[in-house]
Structure 1
């Protein structure tokens, strides 16, 4: 099973009551089930919007993971990575900040970053620069 991230939301008492009523009536197994299905339905309704973002970068929906060897291969090929990750980007502990700076060009990350703290800061900075 893929890594899950916990998300907290605040709901008013009427919304929460309606959710509890639907759970009680057997439409959903629990509150989380209803919320997860509602989110998936909303994402499905925006499928065309999400698709347009795939064209500017190398696009991954899921988990993308880089170690030192993989980034060195990128550099040997004379490339810089332009990636968009919707899900998670993982950079292993054997990657130095210098290697990450040399290998990553444009980066957009929607989800989580798991990397050494200095690399995480660099990747977030690249992400922010792309918003300008």
Structure 2
């Protein structure tokens, strides 16, 4: 699995203080542990809705990895790809931007894209400005 991504959130001082009390009392090992647990609980609570959305939109959950040979094969066959990912899209560094742009027709990534700046630009992926984006 890839390394976890960092996010930034704003909480009220009261919410943050309550989290700190729970951490100090040993309910959670850290603020991060509390927030990760809360996020997982909400995702589990909404799992049926998420599953329906994933099916309806034809999304892939997990990590999708694309390499040069695979994209060249699609290009040679005149095929294009619709890439819809919940998680991470990883495009190898040796993939030329022109090849990625020619083969990947539609792109939706809910999560993280790992690719060179040139490939990101060719696919119209904006650079993240801060960990909160």
> What is the RMSD computed on CA atoms of the aligned residues?
1.8
Q: Which runs of 5+ in 1 are unaligned?
A: 126-132
**TM-score after normalising by structure 1:** 0.82
**Deviation digits for residues 22-59 of structure 1, max 9, x if unmatched?**
112221111111100101111122223322233333x3
Corresponding residue for 1:88? 88
Corresponding residue for 1:111? 111
Where relative contact order (Cα < 8 A, 6+ residues apart) is larger, the structure is 2
Q: Which runs of 5+ in 2 are unaligned?
A: 126-133
Corresponding residue for 1:56? 57
Moved more, 71-80 or 94-103: 71-80
Corresponding residue for 2:21? 21
